[in-house]
Amino acid sequence: MNKLYITFFQCVVFLALSLNLSAKNEVFVKNNDSVNTAILQSFSKKLNQFEQQRIADSISKVKLEERLTLLKTNDRFEKEVLQNQLQELKEKEKNRLAQKKAQIDSLRHTAKGFPVIGFFNDTLILIYGRLGSFSAKERADAISKRINELASNFGFKPDSIRLEESDVSTDIVLEDKIIMSISESDALWNNSTRVELAEQYRNVIVSALLKYKSEISLVMLGKEIALALLVLLIIGLIIFYVGKLFKWTAKKIGEQEGRLIKGIKIQNYTLFDSKAQVEVVLRLNSILKWIIILLVIYIALPILFGIFPWTKNFAETLFGYILNPVKQIVSGLWDYLPNLITILVIIGAFRYALKGLYFLKSEIEKGDLKITGFYPDWANPTYQIIKVLVFAFMVVVIFPYLPGSNSAIFQGVSVFLGFLFTFSSAGSLSNIIAGLVLTYMRLFSIGDRVKIGDISGDVIEKSLLVTRIRTIKNEIISIPNSTVMNSHTINYSSDAPEKGLIIHTTVTIGYDVPWRDMHQVLIDAALKTNYILQEPIPFVLQISLDDFYVSYQINAYTREANKQAFIYSILHQNIQDLCNERGIEIMSPHYRSARDGNTTTIPSDYLPEDYKVPGFKVEMKKED
């Protein structure tokens, strides 16, 4: 059932293409006919002028000849004058014919005649000039109709068609009916005389009529039908064996699954496994089968149509559907070859220019080539920008050499795509511009620990549109570059490798603890912390003196900006341990230092074994 649908679909597509080409050919023929008619009408106007001159000269010639015959023998002077006038008319007639022939010769390569159609839709002769009130096309149609009416004349004999002369034409006549008239213009178009051309046309008509009589005979029709049946039988056998051949190949292809057909792999990626590859090959096998079958049918149809004289023109039309497009394609490619070579030369020149720019970019990136004020990390984005500009300039240079670039449709589509790109990518363009600005501002690099707005993390990607950050919780956050531009950015890693990053934390301790002891505790805790530098030595700042406590801020240097969370955690642990070891309580800021009988907040592991919770102190006063 699927095969039937596929076959039906292919036939529909074939017919659609044929009708489309036929419609295009009809439009082309109509356009040519209109142009040809205009040319012949222009010639007909000039021909009318020649004809009016000929008629006027003929009347003058007849009058002169009559006067000449009426003269007496002794009127020699007047006779001589009349003879001179007749000679002038003959010279004038000769000049008129020469002008007429020259006019026809100038139109011979541009004007096309209208065909007189025979019995089998074949062209017998061509008509170029008008006659009387009939245009060339009307003459051709009328002559075609008269000739085809001869097919009903069963008693036709070749000798029954004869020629008759008149003043303005030579007529081809059958009995009392004029088949066609040959004028002086017709003779000039064919470089012949009226009588010779009339005899030639008479022979063409007689031959066509005799051929038609023989072709429609029962014996000939029987032979043609038998030959057509033979052709159909051969076509059927070819299609049958083509089907069997491709059925056998399909079976062989299926047997090769896992053997010769093992799938297609690109490195570690399986593009097609063996089963999918077999299906693809089977589909190609089926497509090739139907292509061959349709090709056999297409070649056989003109042969079949060519057997019968009524359908011979169909054969030429079918072959024309293939040959005419092929000729147009080959002619178009040949005409376009100089432009194609120019485009290839332009592409080659720009390609080598880009190679030179790539070499410079690589040298700057490696640090072999140094340009004052130009940083190595600018090399790749600058190269990408220049590459886009070079490609855009190359397209501008190539554009005039593209086929159809001058057409209004091509230009309209280009403008439409430009507007579409501009309005649909306004937001994207702002992000792209922001990405370029960020590159040259050198705010951060891949791997830097940054804080953009309220988001902190490591930069893992910088693109033209977004910046991606991985937080300490392993979350990937994408920030549009325009947002990055409009936010404040803190880069923790930019100076950390050379100058070190100062990490800091604040501890609040009551006034009962000496500040020198607290300073030493915090510095010792910092020095015990991993990734804290021993030099420069950590330092403490007392940042505030509040009502109940003092705020101590420990500041220490590190080069591991990306490990801040881990460093802070260890530092806080060390502060707790050292404070406990040295008997310093880290208490709530509002916890009153004047307490009595409360257990200390220091963990029991850090207290002496003989530690006892103090009792409450009660002072009794005796009043007098």
Higher-scoring residue by pLDDT: 15, 265: 265
Instruction: Please say if the pLDDT value at position 320 is more than 60.
Output: yes
Q: What is the pLDDT of residues 571-600, one digit of tens each?
A: 999 999 999 888 888 876 555 444 555 666
The predicted model gives 198-208 an average pLDDT of 85
Is residue 480 situated within a structural domain?
A: yes
**How confident is the model at residue 277, as a pLDDT?**
80
Of the pLDDT bands very low, low, confident and very high (cuts 50, 70, 90), residue 557 is very high
**Closest to 214 in 3D by CA, of 143, 301, 119:** 119
Most confident range (mean pLDDT) of 34-43, 403-412, 419-428, 562-571 is 562-571
Higher-scoring residue by pLDDT: 373, 475: 475
Is the domain of 471 the same as that of 513? no
**How confident is the model at residue 378, as a pLDDT?**
75
Of the pLDDT bands very low, low, confident and very high (cuts 50, 70, 90), residue 370 is confident
- Which residues sit opposite 461 in a β-bridge? 468
Is the domain of 197 the same as that of 228? no
Higher-scoring residue by pLDDT: 31, 82: 82
Return the percentage of the chain with pLDDT > 90, whole number.
17
**How confident is the model at residue 422, as a pLDDT?**
59
**How confident is the model at residue 532, as a pLDDT?**
93
**How confident is the model at residue 22, as a pLDDT?**
44
Is the domain of 10 the same as that of 93? yes
Is the domain of 528 the same as that of 514? yes
Do 205 and 179 meet the contact criterion of CB atoms below 8 Å apart? yes
Is the domain of 207 the same as that of 224? no
**How confident is the model at residue 14, as a pLDDT?**
42
Is residue 576 situated within a structural domain?
A: yes
**How confident is the model at residue 593, as a pLDDT?**
46
Of the pLDDT bands very low, low, confident and very high (cuts 50, 70, 90), residue 42 is low
Give the CA diameter of the chain.
Answer: 200
Is the domain of 94 the same as that of 8? yes
Burial of 264 (0-12, 13-18, 19+ CB in 10 A): middle
**Alpha carbon distance 299, 476 (integer Å):** 64
Which range has the worst mean pLDDT, 24-33, 50-59, 322-331, 345-354? 24-33
State CA 16 to chain mean position distance. 23
**How confident is the model at residue 524, as a pLDDT?**
94
**How confident is the model at residue 531, as a pLDDT?**
92
Q: Which amino acid is residue 413, in one-letter code?
A: V
Of the pLDDT bands very low, low, confident and very high (cuts 50, 70, 90), residue 445 is confident
Is residue 356 situated within a structural domain?
A: no
The predicted model gives 610-620 an average pLDDT of 66
**How confident is the model at residue 7, as a pLDDT?**
41
Of the pLDDT bands very low, low, confident and very high (cuts 50, 70, 90), residue 521 is very high
Q: What is the pLDDT of residues 450-471, one digit of tens each?
A: 998 888 999 998 877 788 999 9
Which range has the worst mean pLDDT, 161-170, 252-261, 602-611? 602-611
**Closest to 164 in 3D by CA, of 198, 190, 203, 125:** 198
Helix (H, G, I), strand (E, B) or coil at 618: coil
Is residue 393 situated within a structural domain?
A: no
Q: How many domains does the chain have?
A: 5
Higher-scoring residue by pLDDT: 173, 261: 173
Of the pLDDT bands very low, low, confident and very high (cuts 50, 70, 90), residue 29 is very low
Residue ending a domain, choose from 491, 508, 525: 491
Is residue 402 situated within a structural domain?
A: no
**How confident is the model at residue 506, as a pLDDT?**
94
**How confident is the model at residue 28, as a pLDDT?**
42
Residue ending a domain, choose from 216, 234, 258: 216
**How confident is the model at residue 9, as a pLDDT?**
40
**Alpha carbon distance 56, 89 (integer Å):** 10
Is residue 462 situated within a structural domain?
A: yes
For residue 203, the surrounding DSSP H or E stretch is helix 194-215
Q: What is the pLDDT of residues 468-518, one digit of tens each?
A: 999 989 999 988 888 888 788 888 988 888 889 999 999 998 888 889 999
Of the pLDDT bands very low, low, confident and very high (cuts 50, 70, 90), residue 46 is low
Report pTM: 0.42
Of the pLDDT bands very low, low, confident and very high (cuts 50, 70, 90), residue 11 is very low
Which phi and psi angles does 618 have, rounded to 5°?
-120, 125
**Closest to 140 in 3D by CA, of 186, 91, 184, 77:** 186
Is the domain of 512 the same as that of 600? yes
Beta pairing, strands 455-462 & 449-452: antiparallel
Of the pLDDT bands very low, low, confident and very high (cuts 50, 70, 90), residue 253 is confident
Is the domain of 303 the same as that of 232? yes
Higher-scoring residue by pLDDT: 620, 112: 112
Is the domain of 589 the same as that of 526? yes
Average pLDDT across the chain, whole number: 77
CA atoms within a 13 Å half-sphere pointing along the CA-CB vector of 613: 9
**Alpha carbon distance 257, 345 (integer Å):** 46
**How confident is the model at residue 595, as a pLDDT?**
53
Is the domain of 63 the same as that of 94? yes
**CATH label of the domain that carries residue 464:** 2.30.30.60
Is residue 461 situated within a structural domain?
A: yes
Is residue 421 situated within a structural domain?
A: no
Is the domain of 475 the same as that of 506? no
- Domain residue limits at 62: 2-107
**Alpha carbon distance 594, 608 (integer Å):** 23
Is the domain of 483 the same as that of 510? no
Instruction: Please say if the pLDDT value at position 26 is more than 60.
Output: no
**CATH label of the domain that carries residue 527:** 3.30.70.100
Higher-scoring residue by pLDDT: 35, 546: 546
Of the pLDDT bands very low, low, confident and very high (cuts 50, 70, 90), residue 133 is confident
Instruction: Please say if the pLDDT value at position 301 is more than 90.
Output: no
**Closest to 349 in 3D by CA, of 388, 412, 397, 418:** 397
